[in-house]
Amino acid sequence: MTHELEVWLFSDRVGTLALVDGRLGFCYTAGWLSRPNAVALSHSLPLRTEPFDDRTTRPFFAGLLPEGQMRRLIARQFQVSGQNDFALLDRIGGECAGAVTFLAPGQSLPTPEQTGGVLWLRDEDVVAVLDELPRRPMLAGKDGLRLSLAGAQDKLPVVFDGTRLGLPLNGTPSSHILKPPIDAVEDSVVNEGFCMALAEALQLKPAMASVHAVLNRPFLLVERYDRVLDAQGCRQRLHQEDFCQALGVVPEMKYQNEGRPDLVKGPARRRMLELANSLPRAARALQSDRTHGFAGNGVVERIVALIEQRCALTLRKLSAPLSAPTSRDGDSSASPQ
């Protein structure tokens, strides 16, 4: 039996993600391929008419989903297998990293008028969200919410207008990522906030981050680098991918102690250098086209941006996966989880 999801990039339907006998496949639409300004979803999924098999398809699409316990809890919420990438993208793939959206066949992409919805939260609501996240990651299953970010730590895409915090409804782009305290790491919010501020002071160009507290409950807000405001003040998505997606490495192999290739040696290093050289050129070639906001898949254009930093010297219970520097959680292209 075949199940399908339509894959949208910005406001265009670019392909179809299929699940056939438990295996993923992806194919670009003929209409997208015929566009002179068509771009690939990923460096690992170049534009072509032939469909991609499961081995080639999974790294990019699975790389959009949460990992570890977050993924297991979301799967339990929807009563699907934790290994079913397709089912999870169907349920939560409305607001993802980059500019990708997943819709059922025949479903129209929400218009700007339809996507302007934000559920603004009172202080008590923010506390309730912080309490609920460990049990319901991404607030999965809440009406109007289809939110996904990669990574193994609790986080949530939100809208922040400088004073108010809200939840993006029905495909509305988020502006920030809310990161609650990590239970196993003492003072993780203040620690990470300090390190981000230090990186900014050193002119290392990190994402903008700030420590907040509501009713004595701390959390970090990180501004999304893959969201920008246009001339009319409307928030737009930029497309991006992390190096594991670009290199075709599946999420379960992204950490070196799980078999990930050493990204600073041998073929992987050469491949990363190729990406670093080719993607900015592609980005510059597309700068005149408003629909892309491409930024070289985001990942290379921002490679010098230190998105997330934590002072490991103060983290007494830092686990090996937590310190691995190559995963991405939507506010990072090469950050620890």
The string of pLDDT tens digits covering residues 91-149 is 999 999 999 999 999 998 876 565 558 999 999 999 999 999 999 999 999 998 999 99
Q: What is the CB neighbour count within 10 angstroms for residue 179?
A: 23
Spacing of C-alpha 177 from chain mean position: 10
State the DSSP string of 211-251: EEEETTEEEEEEE-TTEEE-TTS-EEE-----HHHHHT--G
Under-70 pLDDT residues of the chain:
111-116, 255-337
Residue 147: the pLDDT is 97
Nearest partner of 57 among 38, 47, 43, 44, judged by Cα: 44
pLDDT score, position 190: 93
What pLDDT is stored for residue 171 in this prediction?
A: 86
Q: Give me the pLDDT at residue 110, please.
A: 77
Q: What is the pLDDT of residue 261?
A: 58
Instruction: Give the CA radius of gyration of the chain.
Output: 19
Give the predicted TM-score (pTM) of the model: 0.81
* Rama region for 225: left / alpha / beta (φ>0; ψ in -120 to 50; rest): alpha
Q: How far apart are CA 123 and CA 327, in angstroms?
A: 32
Spatial separation of the C-alpha atoms in residues 14 and 228, rounded to whole Å: 22
How many helices and strands, by DSSP H and E, does the chain display? 9, 12
- Residue 332 pLDDT: 40
Q: Six-digit token pair at 13?
A: 């339907």
